[in-house]
Amino acid sequence: MRPLVTTARLTGVAYLALAVTGMAGYLVIRSALHVPGDPSATLDRLTEQPALAQLGVVMELLVVVSQALAALGFFALFRRDHPTAGFGVAVFGMANAVAIMASAAFLGTALAVASDPALAPAGDAAATVGLMYALSDASWSVGAVFFGLWLIPMGWFAIATRRMPVVLGWFLGVGGVGYVVSALLGPVREAAVVADALGYLATVGEFWMIGYLLIVGIRRVAAPAVASASASVAESAVAR
């Protein structure tokens, strides 16, 4: 197996881990614990389900680890054919990992306050827990900017090098722009509808990329022998 294909498949494993831990932690566990607009209910759930809350923190940290490994993998995969795209994916991916690491810290603090209300400022554990979850949500919102940005050079690589399907590159690039615009628009829901729709393209592109990395890896570069043969034909024609 070619070394670059091995790198591609390891990167695919990290990207798949990122998708799984992100969905499990943010969409499933957080929804089971966090009651938006009701800090007291959230505090009660944290107190009643400390093991689930701990698992939620672990999942956030696994998102950080898998995001960092995927960013490193993409850099190793892209740097030879397109250094700029490789650097862009690595930098934006690491920035997103830092944002989610902050979210994990906020969730850990909320769990600590739920376990020991004396840690809360002025003894208001519910308000503190509510604030920590608000900060965690804000961290994910900031991370969405970088997550969108990391998809753009990923798509650029596919389009520019043809080492991955060009259509995949367009899905990633346009979807990445949608992520960024959606995060920037924030509460302006009327304008964010279009951006959210573009974000769905990113979801398709991401799972397509994961599958492509795991199954195919990366396309070969055009064989040098073909170029040499073409050159020989041209030289023969000139000689005649």
pLDDT digits (tens, 9 = 90+) for 50-89: 999 999 999 999 999 999 999 999 999 999 999 999 999 9
- Structurally, the chain folds into a number of domains equal to 1
- DSSP assignment of 5-51, as one string? HHHHHHHHHHHHHHHHHHIIIIIIIHHHH--TT-HHHHHHHHHH-HH
Containing structural domain, residue 171? 3-239
Dump pLDDT digits (tens) for 197-226.
767 888 899 999 999 999 999 988 754 433
Backbone phi and psi for residue 80, each to the nearest 5 degrees, phi listed first: -75, -45
Residue 235 has pLDDT above 60, yes or no: no
